[in-house]
Amino acid sequence: MNKFVTMASAVAVLSGITALPTAASAETVFTFSNWIPWTHKLSTRLFIPWMKEIEQKTQGRVKFRQLPKAVAHPRAHMDAVRTGQADAGWGVHGYSPRRLSAYLFTDFPLLGESAAATSVAFQRTYEKFLTDKGHYKGVHLIGLNTHGPGVIHHASKIIKTTADMKGQKIRTGGPVPRRIIEAWGGVSIRQPAPKSYELLSTGVVVGVTFPYEALTGFKIVNLVKYHTELPGGLYSSGFYTIINKKKYEGLSAADKKVIDDLSGEGFALRAGKVWDMNDDDGRAAAVKGKHTFAKAGPQILASVKKIKAELVKDYIADMKKQGIDGAAILAYFNQELAKVQAKK
């Protein structure tokens, strides 16, 4: 019997057949759950090229599978990736304002005109102050970024003063735009971004707060034709992209390095540039559609600056309760943002 087994093994080797895969042929497949369409420009310009680059640089040892449907609500993707429902995904800090309140400083108004700049400053601030706070426990963080300046998009009018917002039903995402809209007497309707077309087309809301990207990204360009812009934005939103920690840790050192090289500040810059391109496309579509644009007047700007001061005060107080120096975070973020903006 032993002689037969030995001979069979020899034949298998000679014929190129092996019972077990070699290390070179082993594959690790990450399933990516995406709660926006894979045809969305954020997917086609950021996530899909990023995944393909990892596959190429690992010579196919690390691959990604695009799930046809999201495995969970947008705010639940942190837990979905942590528990292995999916191996990769992304989310919005503002959708989990209590759990991830330390990151909401990037949602503040009047930050700047470029998502690339705010994204890099955001990543640097996280790496200096927040890496040891356990906010991404159980997952491996790829990188952080923000979208571009938020705009008030309305179906029928420009918002010239805060009084123009009274009674208006507006779709908002995170807590910052909600606070502003409600302070002006508007009604905040909290729904994930992909619900915007449904909300507008059925008349549930008459407007949305979004960067220009959303006009084409969520196909609402023909539903909101009046746009009120603020210097630096009404708000911005912060995002995280993550992969399953256990699966990441099971990779070889060489394959980890490939992912690491495409993470951190490099990923933040990459993501921010994509958001800026998408914003340009969205605004261009609005210009082509002969929409109406207006810069916010002094009364609106004064109100937003006042609300921002309140947000800063509240953030510092909240961080103090968590044992975090909120004032230092804000000072460093603004410092790094100014550095990046000065290079452009």
Per-residue model confidence (pLDDT) at position 111: 96
141 and 160 assigned to the same domain: no
Q: How many CB atoms lie within 10 A of CB 46?
A: 23
264 belongs to a structural domain: yes
CATH of the domain at 216: 3.40.190.170
Residues 202 and 220 in one domain: yes
Asked which of 257, 279, 301 is the last residue of a domain, the reply is 279
Rounded to whole angstroms, what are the CA distances from 103 to 17, 94, 154, 207, 258?
Answer: 53, 8, 28, 26, 27
pLDDT of 103 > 80? The answer is yes
Q: Do the Cβ atoms of 71 and 222 come closer than 8 Å?
A: no
SS3 166: coil
Query: 294 lies in a domain?
Result: yes
CA distances from 138 to 52, 79, 109, 173 (A): 25, 9, 31, 26
pLDDT score of 22: 41
DSSP 1-17: -HHHHHHHHHHHHHTT-
Same domain membership, residue 172 and residue 136: no
Q: Give me the sheet containing 187-190, strands edge to edge.
A: 187-190, 169-172, 207-210, 151-154, 226-229, 292-295
Q: Is residue 1 a part of any domain in this protein?
A: no
Report the pLDDT averaged over residues 302-323. 98
pLDDT score recorded for residue 343 = 86
Same domain, 115 and 252: yes
- List the domain range (segments joined by +) for residue 96: 27-146+237-279
Tell me what pLDDT residue 173 has.
Answer: 85
Alpha-carbon dihedral sign for residues 203, 276, 328, 266:
positive
What mean pLDDT, rounded, does the chain reach?
A: 93
Torsion of the alpha carbons at 154, 157, 162 and 166, rounded to the nearest 10: -80
Residues 100 and 187 in one domain: no
Q: 11 lies in a domain?
A: no
Helix (H) or strand (E) holding 53: helix 48-57
User: Same structural domain for residues 246 and 189?
Assistant: no
CA 116 to CA 276: how far, in whole Å? 7
- Residue ending a domain, choose from 224, 259, 279: 279
Which of 247, 262, 279 is the endpoint of a domain?
A: 279
Under a CB-based contact definition with an 8 Å cutoff, are residues 308 and 239 in contact? no
Same domain flag for 192 and 106: no
Q: What is the mean pLDDT of the segment spanning 115-128?
A: 98
pLDDT of residue 26: 72
Based on the fold, state whether residues 165 and 248 are members of the same structural domain.
no
Q: How many CB atoms lie within 10 A of CB 239?
A: 25
Is 311's pLDDT higher than 90? yes
158 and 56 in one domain?
no
> Using one digit for the tens of pLDDT, what is the confidence trace for 174-204?
899 999 999 999 999 998 889 999 999 999 9
Q: Is 5 part of a structural domain of the chain?
A: no
pLDDT in tens, 124-180: 999 999 999 999 999 999 999 999 999 999 999 999 999 999 999 999 988 999 999
Each residue's pLDDT tens digit, 36-47: 999 999 999 999
Rounded-to-integer distance, Cα 66 and Cα 31, Å:
6
Residue 4 lies in a domain: no
Asked if residue 255 is part of any domain, the answer here is yes
Q: Are 136 and 102 in contact (CB under 8 A)?
A: no
pTM above 0.85, yes or no: yes
Asked whether residue 247 falls in the same domain as residue 200, the answer is no
Say if residue 56 is in the same domain as residue 200: no
Please report whether residue 12 resides in a domain.
no
Q: What residues contact 72, with CB distance under 8 A and at least 6 apart?
A: 33, 79, 80, 85, 86
Together in a domain, 65 and 201: no
| Pairwise CA distance, residues 223 & 201, whole Å | 7
Radius of gyration for the alpha carbons in the chain, expressed in angstroms and rounded: 23
When pLDDT is averaged across residues 255-278 and rounded to a whole number, the result is 98
Length of the chain: 344
Angle at 137 between CA 316 and CA 319, to 5 degrees: 5
What domain count does the chain have? 2
**pLDDT at residue 344, as a whole number:** 66
Q: What DSSP line would sit under 192-236, residue for residue?
A: -GGGHHHHHHTTS-SEEEE-THHHHHTT-TTT--EEEE-TT-S--
Judged against a pLDDT cut of 70, whether residue 90 lies above it is answered with: yes
| Rounded Cα distance, 171 and 210, in Å | 9
Measured CA to CA in angstroms, residue 191 lies from 38, 149, 154, 218 at distances of 20, 19, 17, 13
